A and B are shown apart, each in its own frame.
Chain A
Amino acid sequence: EVHLVESGGGLLQPGGSLRLSCAASGFPFNAYTMNWVRQAPGKGLEWVAVIDSSGTSVSYAGSVKGRFSVFRDNAENSLYLQLDMVSPEDTGVYFCAREWHVGFDYWGPGTMVTVAS
């Protein structure tokens, strides 16, 4: 059974850094493109970043480009999102999602990030 579980969320101050993790199991992790999607309180879903199966190709939403970094460790079946220079607008639930030709077919339950002074 496919499982995705995010961790690493918490409270941090504006300008701070945080690393989110997504542990994957139940499927060949190294065969799938992975994404991060977030949802700010009271807002809709916002795509954040994508990384291909090998980790060599990445792309970011304009709102996070230059501040966030996505990477993966296929040996550890893990996906990561490094958040730097955060602002209150980065507050929200962060989901990792597996991408297949059909879209985002599996999602984790999410981890909450709160940026506040």
Chain B
Amino acid sequence: QSVLTQPSSLSGTPGQRVSMSCSGSSSNIGKNSVHWYQHFPGTAPKLLISTNNQRPSGVPDRFSGFKSGTSASLVISGLQSEDESQYYCAAWDDNLNGWVFGGGTKLTVL
């Protein structure tokens, strides 16, 4: 059971706008920044959204992040086939004194 809660799966069609959630608590998301990672099997995970809503260089602007209270969300506008991947949220947890990840959301592009 992950400390951060994400839906296990999500699907959308090309061009659609999809949103995936990440729910935490006052000791993690409520106090610290949320980061989002994209992970294709067999490769290194990639930082997709940092510090709640910042896109690292090279990340398409169709990806955006939001945070409110103890929850966060990743939004993909204009879904593309290459976006089919696993997505993870993460945050530092002050009580656990460590990083916590969500269980991951598998995004399928239909």
A91 at the interface (CB under 8 A from B): no
Minimum CB–CB distance for B59 against chain A, Å? 11
Number of interface residues of A (CB under 8 A): 22
Chain B residues within CB distance 8 Å of chain A: 2, 33, 35, 37, 39, 43-47, 50-51, 54, 56, 86, 88, 90, 96-104
CA separation between A84 and B102, bound complex, in Å?
26
Instruction: State the 4 A-B residue pairs at the shortest beta-carbon distance, nearest first.
Output: A103-B35, A102-B50, A107-B44, A47-B99
Closest residue of chain B to A110 (Cβ to Cβ) is: B44
A116 to B37, CA, bound (A): 30
Does chain B have a CB within 8 A of A11?
no
Within 8 Å of chain B (Cβ to Cβ): is A71? no
- Min Cβ gap A65→B in Å is 10
Q: Given A102-B54, A104-B37, A104-B45, A45 and B98 touching (CB < 8 A)? A: no
Q: When the two chains form the complex, which single residue of A44, A59, A101, A108 contacts B44, counting CB atoms closer than 8 Å?
A: A108
Instruction: Point out the residues of chain A lying under 8 angstroms from B33, CB to CB.
Output: 103
Q: Does A35 contact B (CB under 8 A)?
A: yes
Distance in Å: Cβ of A113 to nearest Cβ of chain B: 16
